[in-house]
Chains A and B, each alone.
Chain A
Amino acid sequence: MAEEHGRKWDRCLADTAVKTVTGLGVGIVFSVLLFKRRTWPVAFGSGLGVGMGYTNCQNDFRLPYLIHGRMVKDQ
């Protein structure tokens, strides 16, 4: 179980890093192309990336505790 935990963390961090960098990049692109080199798209993009990565990480850790319900229709 310890390995799973460690693996999760690895995945999580890698994923967050990738997303942040990607967001950063997209932000830079947008800032350069569309928003006249303002800083805010960069911050926005990186923030977006960090947020996505954080949420993904959180969901990954929460996975065992999620209860999936199904609608049963009477037929």
Chain B
Amino acid sequence: MLRACLRGANATARNNCRRNPLTSVQHCRHYTAGETSGATKVVAAGLLTVSSGIGGTILYAKWDHKFRAAVEKNVPYSDLLFSLALGPSSQEGLPIKKQTELAQPPSMMDKQVKASKAKSEKKVKEAAESPAEESSPATTQPAQSIEEASVEATHIISAIGEVPSVPAPCDTEAAAVKEECKECHDHKDTPVTAVVHPNTESPVAMEPLKERPVEEVAARLAQQDQEEQDILASVSASLEESLASSAKTTLQAIGAQEAALQAITQHTHKLKEAMEAEVPPQEKSAQWKDLEAALANRTCAMNDASTALLKANETLGSLKSVIDKSKGLNIAAVHPLVLAAEENLHNMIVDLDKVVTKVQSAESEAKIVSQYSELVNEAKQQFQREVSSLTPEIQANWKGLTGKLSADDLNALIAHAHRRIDQLNRELAEQRVREQIHIDAALEQQKLEDQKALEKAVNTTLQHVKEEARLEQERKLGELREVMEAEMRTQLRRQAAAHTDHVQDVLKVQEHELRAEAEQVLSSKMLEQETRYRQLNQEQLDNFTLDMNTAYARLKGMEEAIDSHVVAEEEARKAHQLWLSVEALNYTLKTTDSDLPTIPLKSAAEAVRDSCHDNDFALALASALPEESLHRGVYSEASLRARFNSLRSLARRVALIDESHNSLYQYFLSYLQAALLFEDEQKAPPTQLSREDLDPFKLLSYASYCLEHGDLELAAKLVNQLRGETRRVVEDWLTEARLTLETRQVVSLLSAYANAVGLGTTQAP
């Protein structure tokens, strides 16, 4: 690029040279113009080269960043130019790109996870409603990292099928709930109940089922027993009541029926007697009266019997209902009672039925007899009418009229009788003819009646047998139950026995353990007591020895104090001597004129060393005095100050000179700087020196300030920071200052030590 510029410059120069002969033709005419045009051309060419140079630099810097950095470093204010032309240097852009690249993959994966989560949530919600709601809050918490994305994918796949899957990191309770819910889904078909049921079941499943405590169970059992007892008592009472009442009524009915039976038989007997017996009329009327009485008795008895029967049936019915009710209570202890009551009922019914059948048979017989008697009465009356029609005068009781009747009457009567006999024979023959038919019809009727009666009897017996069989069954059941209960009781007894054995064993073991524990505790306590006793003894002993020791120590102390007094006095004398010698040394430091060192400190140091020949510290200090001060003496602070002031101007003049910059040109520049730079005569040094404070001019002003304020040490420190030629110039002064400071430090230490020793040995009043 430089070459291009040079070429351009040469070209322009050549052009200028070439143009000059051309213009020289018009020299005389356009001299000044040519001159000026030449100058302007030169200026223009120069500007052009400069601008092209700058433009070229900028372009190259745009292409090559290292070149740009180098130019910015070396040429001041070029970075401003470059930033104006090209924008900020693009080194900061690279890290940003890397960060964006790194950020890209995680963000994409986060998006994936979020999408899969949303999908899984939706699908699971569709598959199973409420169980999913319980599990999805649980799924969002674990599924934070990228590794869970695959698990989520499997969830989605499984959720598409109608089986709700359980994510692994979730707790198993949710799984249990889900399984239960699945069962609910399987067992119950309606989805409504399925939605409701898991909700109701899940809280139950969530909470563990609590066992009822033993006391509650016992209380409940006792309560149940009590209730049973009450019910039993009430049931037995009611049963007994109803049984008693029904027994009474049944007995009554039976009695009434028997009475009726008796009445009926009596009546029939009387009737039969009345029919057949040939008794005189007075007795006949008495007989008829008896008969009527018997009939009235019979009807009365029949009525009584029927009412009693009704009552008995009613009571039996109530008893049956009570029995049914008590059967419905379904308590074991009631069964035998019920059974007994049923048996009683059955027996009563059976007896009642028997008696009723007896009565009925008696009734039928009585009917026959009454029919017969009616027929006989009818015939008799007929005959009477006939006789009366024939012989109106004859009274009914014709047997006693044999003497009163005439022959006609007798003949008429005989003729009537013959006629009657013929009629009767005829009737008899007819009857005999129709005998068979009548007998058949009668037999048929009888058969029918017999069948009916048979059926009725069969039904009743069947019922009775069924009832008996049922009762038998119930009895057998009751017996079986009792047997079972007895067996269970024996088993329970066995178990109880085993339990008591076990409890006994456990108690034995516990006893052993407790005994061992107690013994252990006892032994430990005993041990404790013993140790405490021993401890107390030891303490007493220790205290006594302690007292003895203190007394002895005090005695010793007193002896030592007295000895040390003597020693202390000796020490005090020595210290005094040391102090005197140190004061002498101090005095020698002050004997100085300006610009001349003090007298040599050798003799004073010797004196000090003599007065402290057994004191290592003082000896060390005395030998720490620098040789120069011993032989030559040290300069005072005032002289050093004066010297510094004169040195300062020289130091300022060579401020720029150091190892690398030390040519005469640098000397000239340094001199120029010193002439042109103005700084404070004295400036207070800061507590901490920064990099700007290490400028030689500043340091010199700080040092001057320190010297003016009497701080030689700080001035020496500051002067020590000078570098280069300045340092070489002030080196002598620095060594002198160091020497002075050293000597002064040693002397001050010695005097401080002497003072301390002196103070230590003085005894306060």
List chain A positions with a Cβ less than 8 A from chain B: 1-2, 5, 54, 57-58, 61-62, 64-65
- With A2-B729, A64-B728 as known contacts, state yes or no: A58 contacts B646, CB within 8 Å: no
Q: Residue B299 at the A interface, CB < 8 A?
A: no
Bound form: Cα–Cα A64–B733 in Å: 18
Q: Residue B647 at the A interface, CB < 8 A?
A: yes
B664-A2 in contact (CB<8A): no
Identify which of B646, B650, B662, B730 contacts A61 (C-beta below 8 A). B662
With a cutoff of 8 Å between Cβ atoms, the chain A residues found around residue B654 in the complex are 5
B729-A62 in contact (CB<8A): no
Interface residue ranges of B636-680 to A (CB < 8 Å): 646-647, 650, 654, 657, 659, 662-664, 667
Name 13 interchain pairs, CB-CB below 8 A, sorted by A: A1-B728, A1-B730, A1-B732, A1-B733, A2-B646, A2-B650, A2-B729, A5-B650, A5-B654, A58-B662, A61-B662, A64-B728, A65-B662
CB distance from A12 to the nearest CB of B (A): 8
A2-B647 in contact (CB<8A): yes
CB distance from B670 to the nearest CB of A (A): 11
A54-B662 in contact (CB<8A): no
With a cutoff of 8 Å between Cβ atoms, the chain B residues found around residue A62 in the complex are 662-663
Bound form: Cα–Cα A1–B657 in Å: 15
CB distance from B327 to the nearest CB of A (A): 134
Closest CB pairs A-B (n = 7)? A2-B650, A1-B729, A65-B659, A58-B664, A62-B662, A1-B732, A58-B663
With a cutoff of 8 Å between Cβ atoms, the chain A residues found around residue B733 in the complex are 1
Q: Residue B201 at the A interface, CB < 8 A?
A: no
Residue among B650, B664, B667 with the most chain A CB within 10 A?
Answer: B664
Q: Residue B731 at the A interface, CB < 8 A?
A: yes
A54-B664 in contact (CB<8A): yes
B663-A5 in contact (CB<8A): no
Interface residue ranges of B720-741 to A (CB < 8 Å): 728-733
B180-205 vs A, CB cutoff 8 Å, 1 = contact: the mask equals 00000000000000000000000000
B664-A61 in contact (CB<8A): yes
With a cutoff of 8 Å between Cβ atoms, the chain A residues found around residue B650 in the complex are 1-2, 5
Nearest-CB residue, chain B, relative to A64: B728
Nearest-CB residue, chain B, relative to A54: B664
Identify which of B647, B659, B663 contacts A1 (C-beta below 8 A). B647
CB distance from A49 to the nearest CB of B (A): 15
Nearest-CB residue, chain B, relative to A61: B662
With a cutoff of 8 Å between Cβ atoms, the chain B residues found around residue A1 in the complex are 647, 650, 728-733
With a cutoff of 8 Å between Cβ atoms, the chain B residues found around residue A58 in the complex are 662-664
Bound form: Cα–Cα A57–B731 in Å: 22
Bound form: Cα–Cα A34–B511 in Å: 144
CB distance from B597 to the nearest CB of A (A): 18
A57-B664 in contact (CB<8A): yes
